[in-house]
Amino acid sequence: MKNEVEEKINKIWMQTPATYYERGYDWNGYEVYDLVFTKRMIVGHPYVILVKGDEVRLSTAKESLEYLDYSNEMKAKSKSISELKEDIQEEI
């Protein structure tokens, strides 16, 4: 079953211009896979691949923005003190 899910993820990924995908934060009962672009490009919404059981799908525009907010919150919580100091210095 895991291989079927991985095949579905790969099928969705291959239909995008993303270079690869990586595991994101779990969100709203889904495993999330972030699409990663190594070249600068304008692609619209920051879509992610959502997995719940055997269901594998691309996020909606609304879900992609909600997940982006959630992901940014999670990243901010995991920043080290030195990274936070660097961020403050960059803003000054």
pLDDT tens digit sequence for 1-37:
479 999 999 999 999 989 999 999 999 999 999 999 9
Strands 48-52 and 55-58: antiparallel
Buried-state track 11-30, b at ≥16 Cβ within 10 A, e below 16 = ebbeeeebeebeebbebeeb
In sequence order, what are the residues at sequence separation of 6 or more whose Cβ sits closer than 8 angstroms to the Cβ of residue 17? Answer: 37, 41, 43
Confidence of residue 88 (pLDDT cuts 50, 70, 90): confident
pLDDT for residue 84 is more than 90: no
pTM: 0.76
- Determine the Cα–Cα distance for residues 54 and 68; give it in Å rounded to an integer: 23
